Amino acid sequence: MSNERIGEHGFLADGLTAALVSRDGSVDWWCPARFDGPSVFARLLDDDGGHWFVRPGDQFDADRSYLGDTLVLRTVFTTQQGTVALTDALALEPGARVHIGLRPPRVLLRMVEGLSGRVPVVMSFAPRFEYGRVTAYLAQHDSGVAVTAGPTTLTMSASVPLECRDGDASAQVTVGEGQRETFALAYTPTYGGGQPPMTDVGAALADTIEAWESWSRAHNYPGRYPELVRRSALVVQGLTYQPSGAVVAAATTSLPEKLGSDRNYDYRYTWVRDFALTLRALKVAACPYEAGRLFTRVAQAVGQPGNQPTPIMYDVEGERDLTERKLETLRGYGGSGPVWVGNDAWRQRQLDVPGEVLDAAWTLRNQLDPMPADVRQLLAALADTAARDWSQPDAGMWEARDVERHHVSSKVLCWVALDRAVRFGTALGSPEDLARWASARDEVRAAVLQQGWRAEVGAYTGAFGSDELDACVLIMPLVGFLPATDERMRATIELIEQRLSSGGLVRRWPGDPAGFLLASFWLVQCLALVGEGERAIAMFEGLAGRASDLGLFAEQIDPRTGEQLGNFPQAFSHIALIDAAWLLTNTTCPPE
């Protein structure tokens, strides 16, 4: 396993896939075909999973940052002999502006520049295809090497001579002030993929920087914490598979929620819930074009639910069968196996999904006017699903794998689905539909108010009949089910803060191993809504300060160590930051 912690990695993306780069210059994760494809570098999950590092040969200190509003990473290595900079990026297509990642060349770019002195630099290229199963055949050519294993070919072009042995390649070069050495690693399908592109690394980096910067300039977020919001919006954009518009939950699989545990899941897929929340966050972050365009993708992927449970997730191109399988080739991050491909949550019933989709549609109603026919049919079908199924138990937002329960958050979001459907009026349904939806909405509300409240606990709990607190009920004021100032709601917020929060990090339930960033940002919003603006601001800024030096969040943070845990970077966490920043902008909190 890489010596780097989860949150110490930089994140590169090109609209098809992502790479993670450690502070010491090692590409420790890359699935070059697409986000959920097989890896060629997986050192993040096992020392033998494959890597590609470029770094000084002697001891060094490293300082890194993204170049402006981009996902182009620059690491400055300082040694006794001098200083060099390493610039890393996944290339965007030449001339790409604003609408990035539509046809990227699938090339990983690396450039070393001498800044002072003369620094010995070493390069080690050790791909391990299909999640570490295969050491590939390597063929050397004039400007580099080509490596092939089954359907995947990687072609490296280098400005320095390479030494090849046993399927790996290495190089050593001394880089002086003003000197540049470059590497380009292109992915092509072995059969029918054509020739890899010829890459001028300097020009490709400049083009990629300008593409990201042009996207950022086109989105003028007007609220609080603009730098944090822009960075989070860039991360969400980087997690978007541009051919379909699917936003993956994270770039990785099987990074643990707790070291040594087996709570390791594959997050390289699109959850309808996450996607709906992403659309709202993109609008908040002044990305209405992306939000409106991507909403039609929801309709295409979900289809018409009919009498079956609403599909909750799918892969980046819309396939729903994500059956889990265990990988025996990788030991897992820090030995925290198993490592999984696929996610069996696709089989679950999660009744909150219609509410998230209809709420996103209501937020984006101006972008959906006139409403496309397939979107109208989807929203009406989801409202019917909520009216029909709200009284059923489900797996809940946290995707419990033991038994189904009557989760309060699921009921609340069924109410949201019906409430938003009624608000759409005859644009969505007939007068008879509206009357039926309104009646079901009122039934749901009455059930939650009666059965969700536990007088013995003094709070709304996670499920009907349960005494266990659950942070997911913090959504109740955020979706308009109850005002945060309602006596019972305020008591719930206070109790969750007292019992589930530590250092501003909120656990999902008692015994949850770490603070869940999504729930933590929910508490920020609830505090603002009850009028505690100064505390909300302090908590928000404390959470933002827990991001990595590159402004990246995983799913969770250990309150004791500050270490980030779970798959990385996590779209949910960045979405929640955007939402919280916008709510702070629109409450009575004093301006910055």
Beta bridge partners of 88: 73, 110
User: Cβ(587)–Cβ(571) under 8 Å?
Assistant: no
Cβ-Cβ contacts under 8 Å for 496 (sequence gap 6 or more): 459, 469, 471, 473, 474, 506, 523
Exposed e or buried b per residue across 524-547, where buried means at least 16 C-beta atoms within 10 angstroms of its C-beta? bbbbbbbebbebbbebbeebbebb
Cβ-Cβ contacts under 8 Å for 33 (sequence gap 6 or more): 16, 17, 152, 187, 189
State the pLDDT at residue 244: 86
Query: Does a cis peptide bond (omega within 30 degrees of 0) precede residue 256?
Result: no
pLDDT at 383 over 90: yes
The band of 195, judged by pLDDT with boundaries at 50, 70 and 90, is confident
Domains in the chain and their CATH numbers?
Answer: 6-216 (2.70.98), 219-585 (1.50.10.10)
pLDDT at 388 over 70: yes
The band of 592, judged by pLDDT with boundaries at 50, 70 and 90, is very low
Average pLDDT over residues 77-94: 96
Over the stretch 129-138, which tens digit does the pLDDT of each residue have? 999 998 888 9
The band of 279, judged by pLDDT with boundaries at 50, 70 and 90, is confident
pLDDT at 262 over 90: no
Over the stretch 33-61, which tens digit does the pLDDT of each residue have? 999 999 999 999 999 999 999 999 999 99
Strand stretches in 91-241, DSSP E: 107-126, 137-141, 144-149, 152-158, 163-165, 168-176, 180-189, 240-241
State the pLDDT at residue 10: 98
Exposed e or buried b per residue across 451-464, where buried means at least 16 C-beta atoms within 10 angstroms of its C-beta? bbbbeebebbbbbb
The residue among 38, 170, 25 whose CA lies nearest residue 111 is 25
Report which DSSP code applies to 196: P
pLDDT at 300 over 80: no
pTM: 0.95
C-alpha 444/C-alpha 105 separation (Å) is 50
User: Cβ(24)–Cβ(51) under 8 Å?
Assistant: no
Over the stretch 404-425, which tens digit does the pLDDT of each residue have? 999 999 999 999 999 999 999 9
State the pLDDT at residue 287: 62
